Amino acid sequence: MDSRPREAPAPAEPSGGAAPAAANGEVEITKPRNDKRGYRRVVLPNALECLVISDPDTDKAAASMNVSVGYFCDPEGLPGLAHFLEHMLFYASEKYPIEDSYSKYIAEHGGSRNAFTSREHTNFFFDVNNDCLDDALDRFAQFFINPLMSPDAILREVNAVDSENQKNLLTDILRMSQLQKHICLESHPYHKFSTGNRNTLLVNPNKEGLDILEELITFYSSHYSANLMQLVVYGKESLDNLQTLVENKFSDVRNTGRKRFSFYGHPCSSEHLQVLVKAVPIKQGHTLRILWPITPNIQHYKEGPCKYVSHLVGHEGKGSLFYVLKKLGWAMSLRAGEGDWSSVFSFFSVVIRLTDVGHEHMEDIIGLLFRYITLLQTSGTPKWIFDELLTIRETGFHYRDKSPPSQYVVNISSNMQIFPPEDWLIASSVPSKFSPDAIQSILNDLTPDKVRIFWESKKFEGQTNLTEPWYGTSYSVEAVPPSIIQNWVNRAPMEDLHIPKPNIFIPSDLSLKNVEEKGSFPCMLRKTLFSIVWYKPDTMFFTPKAYIKMYFHCPLSRSSPESIVLTDMFTRLLMDYLNDYAYDAQVAGLYYAVKPNDTGFQITMVGYNDKMRTLLETVIGKIAAFEVKVDRFVVIKETITKAYENFKFQQPHQQASYYCSLILEEQKWTWDEKLAAISHTEASDLEKFLPHLLGKTFIESYFAGNMEPGEVKGVIQHVEDILFNAPVSLCKALPSSQHLTKRIVKLERGLRYYYPALCLNQQDENSSLLHYIQIHQDDLKQNVLLQLLALVAKQPAFHQLRSVEQLGYITWLKQRNDSGVRGLQFTIQSTVKDPANLDARVEAFLKMFEGTLYQMPDIEFKSDVNALINMKLEKYKNIREESAFFWREISEGTLKFDRKEAEVAALRDLKKEELIEFFDNHVKVNAPRKKILSIQVYGRLHTNEYEKVVHDEPQPHSYQITDIFSFRRSRPLYGSFKGGIGQMKL
């Protein structure tokens, strides 16, 4: 498939140069046809370029400051300094000297905040409830006016950066990215290590006699200049008021006249080309990454040559490279597109996940790739392909869904660094000028004499002689001159490679349906022995899009590890068979997926409604006529096997979450049971299983958006006719007595259950704690009390456990909801303390927080309640968000479609004493109704502590879980809200 760059954009000079600075508001910014928001460009006297966005319908305000300085600017000998400064600016300022006051304010007023550092920019952003934008902006602006950086905070945040780096060390995608940077010119900024760690930011500078605080201040003073900043502010106020707000808050940002950091040339000299790099990953699997240095697409963004080329190279339809590799059984996936890029250099990459057989045919795969590229180079550049892409991208731009304001402002502020003002919204998303020469230029760069091949496999263990210094990746390098690649081309199998055919899924009817019933909530449209259908017309977004969710409830799917594996196999094969046909639907903006779920499997579709029925009926037809193809079964079996084998390489906090679900969910199988099951599964087993799986089926559906009720009924009738009413059909009705329900273990009051486990990856030094406090099953009053408590405690927990105690980069407090059973969950991942110690620190925090809660001023309580009310009253941004809420109510059987309105009403009557009573009864240390489950995953640094905790006698009122399944069987379960689905009544 066509892939997009993962990192945020780097600065570039657009073709023809950026537009000259214009007076405030003079630029007409291109915006989508359906976008009712107001936009105004403002340039402050200090040269800070701003965009204010007025959206009277928004529920959230947001802002993003993009600074045209990234890790490329890190001084020699101080890797990670730009990233470290990003961390430090959150702490305090001269105007707001209380540490973490900015983060506290944002959290207490319904918002979130974050930042990231890229190659050539650093981006800071937040969102907050509408009425708090003024105060939030005032705090935010001080980062760029007078920040405070104390020596004490320096030491603590170095630990946070180091913990972040520790978290990343065993992540293959980051390891390989750094390896690609490593094999290039050391003098080029691309070669740098971006994250930093304790050694680069503290130990080594101390040895060199450098004061890291002074270095930070120098870096900030040198690079953080108003003329290198781009600000976006989004709110419901008028453009005039937003402009005044920006002028008042940000005019004091200093302009030192700093020129933007610049560099010249590509990071790869001739010695870094024509190379084959063999590397050893952490996870099982084989991957080929083929890269070429190219002219950055940003220099010709109006022409979009890279988008044209990546569309063809990454295509998955008949005649494509991937289609051929898949048919040969050599590839599991392929993506192509521009990778790491800036204004000066760029790479075009093709990334292919190989099967075991494909790994043995690497030379043939490279040969076929170059044969296909040669075909593209010599067959011209058909304009109809460009026109097709233009239609798809124009439609996508003009019918773009609203996104969360924080995400929107980040995207735009990043664009402001790159594009002229008129293109800040559209950016490079809609190439509008057909240029065969620009396309041919990119194709001509994809040659054997410029190639870099990175080949990853565990099979290379013991065959490498080099080590990348920052992540410790083992690798070797060998030359692959063009003559060798030409031999591979000549020897590769002769396959029918050709460009794709025209896309039949491009929507042609974008009209809006006239639906008479405009209900705010879903209604049950139809119910039979075979299915139930819920329907919700579009009353909010007015776009030619729809959403479909179909749950196939098949009790046999969860009855054993073998049945889980076979159901997974069935859905993956179904997607595999559909791929060459339905890939065009995804390209044209019609997303679909078939996946297993808790009670069987599901079909999801979202996008333009015009061709949606065609796609759905094709999927249903494939289910009805499903046959097991042995060659594809073998490939899919290998894919699933590797996924289970790689489970042990998940982060420790992810393993803790897995154990928690395993303990709480009534019917859940372990990853190693499923791995064992798949090892002896054959194609014949799936052939025998499928009639039994579908032999008892009930379909529960939700249709929403630009569809009429009669149309929905017609679709479902067609589905029933194909699956249930055909002369020979696999599907039979499911009796109500056999419907599956997902039920949750009820923990005992006054007991602390704990489950210690060694980290499955023996190399991982990180340990993790998941401290879960189970409280109640879905109840209106208790729901809002829990939500309010989580809101009030979230930032103090983060500040104390991460910022002050420096337990680890990953430190979360959040609500947990397991099929309507709710509670609080602390998650900490750490190298500095073992999980039992982390558990004690959570208890210590709760003891400290007790006083904070008891002494909370009434005005602060009211403010927190109002913040939560505002969060609940937020409108859905798009049909996905709306459908996700309503579908959850349907799938869990709660059917509280007015949940938000009811909870807001409950919040308005809430008293502070009720919150304190809730905390005292359920959450505080030794609370009488408290139910605790402590999941403790011990990493390599804490194996001794694991042995101790396993063999020590449990403390009073504590219970060590030694056998998950015996424990699960011994506990009562919460009742399910879901009766027999066919019997549900409103």
Structure tokens at 489: 């081309």
Ordered alpha helix ranges (H), 64-211 = 81-88, 101-108, 133-141, 151-168, 172-182, 198, 204-207
Contact 675, 977 (CB under 8 A): no
Residues 6+ apart with CB under 8 A from 611: 504, 505, 507, 585, 588, 590
Which of 800, 798, 816, 765 shows the shortest CA–CA distance to 931?
Answer: 816
User: Apex CA 711: angle with CA 507 and CA 726, to 5°?
Assistant: 105
Burial of 379 (0-12, 13-18, 19+ CB in 10 A): exposed
Structure tokens at 409: 């402002």
Which of 458, 454, 450, 451 shows the shortest CA–CA distance to 476?
Answer: 454
Among the listed residues 49, 86, 164, 215, the single catalytic one is 86
Is 889 a known active-site residue? no
Ordered alpha helix ranges (H), 10-132 = 81-88, 101-108
Which residues, in sequence order, are bridge partners of residue 193?
A: none
Instruction: Return d(Cα 516, Cα 509) in angstroms, integer.
Output: 20
Residue 260, SS3 per DSSP: coil
Residue that the structure tokens 């589905």 belong to:
719
User: Apex CA 395: angle with CA 389 and CA 397, to 5°?
Assistant: 100
Which of 71, 257, 251 shows the shortest CA–CA distance to 144?
Answer: 251
Sign of CA dihedral 526, 532, 537, 540: positive
Contact 284, 344 (CB under 8 A): no
Which residues, in sequence order, are bridge partners of residue 594?
A: 603
Contact 645, 747 (CB under 8 A): no
Which residues, in sequence order, are bridge partners of residue 89?
A: none
Among the listed residues 108, 157, 303, 720, the single catalytic one is 157
* Helix 239-250 and helix 133-141, axial crossing angle in degrees, nearest 10: 30
Structure tokens at 905: 């009403």
Which residues, in sequence order, are bridge partners of residue 331?
A: 354
Instruction: Return d(Cα 743, Cα 348) in angstroms, integer.
Output: 49
Which residues, in sequence order, are bridge partners of residue 112?
A: 127
Which of 116, 135, 113, 111 shows the shortest CA–CA distance to 58?
Answer: 111
Q: Which residues of 330-348 are buried (b: 16+ CB within 10 A; e: fewer)?
A: bbbebbbbbbbbbbbbbbb
Contact 633, 686 (CB under 8 A): yes
Instruction: Return d(Cα 588, Cα 571) in angstroms, integer.
Output: 23
Is 86 a known active-site residue? yes
Q: Which residues of 59-93 are buried (b: 16+ CB within 10 A; e: fewer)?
A: bbbbbbbbbbbbbbbbeeebbbbbbbbbbbbbbbb
Report strand pairing: 811-818 vs 600-608: unpaired
**Inter-CA distances, 696 with 306, 572, 587, 691, 723, Å:** 49, 21, 35, 9, 12
Residue 588, SS3 per DSSP: coil
Report strand pairing: 752-758 vs 958-960: parallel
Structure tokens at 312: 């063809």
User: Apex CA 596: angle with CA 591 and CA 600, to 5°?
Assistant: 125
Residues recognised as catalytic: 86, 157
